[in-house]
Amino acid sequence: MPRQNFISQDFFAQAPEKQVKSALMEIPAFENAISFVRENTLVQSWRFRYEHTDGKAQYIDVSFMHLNDGHTHITMHGSYENGHSFYKDRYLSSALKNFESAAKAALHGSVKEYVPERPRHGGMQQLLQYAVMILSSAGIVFLWKKIW
């Protein structure tokens, strides 16, 4: 199975294709963390760079599909600048959620609706990792005693 190096998220917009394009290009004007990088005309996608407050930056590739006169399907793929990603990543998930809310705010024409959220810190996950590490260390000590 090939390695997936991006996390994706999609949503529907109740707007025609031209309005979605112009709204996407307006996002960097009101959000400093999001900047436009380039347009890929071959696959018809737009690449944006999202930078968190702590300095971590990701690329968000946005493509959309025209459904009918009033609806558009928008797909976002998030990856790190070096191309690496994980199955679940709090920074990429946060970047995708913030980009989606910025796109929806730009589509509705009200920038005040956009409130960026910070990535959640996995406190419980870190506690579980430390507990497993301590238990595995204790297991190695008992195994060492059995061998010698």
Domain ranges of the chain: 7-117, 121-148
Task: Give pLDDT, residue 83.
Answer: 67
Query: pLDDT averaged over the chain?
Result: 80
**CATH fourth-level superfamily of 7-117:** START domain (3.30.530.20)
CA 39 to each of CA 1, 21, 51, 109: distance values in angstroms, whole numbers, following the listed order: 29, 11, 19, 23
pLDDT, one tens digit per residue, over 70-84 is 888 999 988 887 766
Give the count of beta carbons closer than 10 Å to the beta carbon of residue 103: 24
pLDDT, one tens digit per residue, over 95-104 is 888 888 888 8
pLDDT, one tens digit per residue, over 40-70 is 888 888 999 998 887 788 889 999 888 888 8
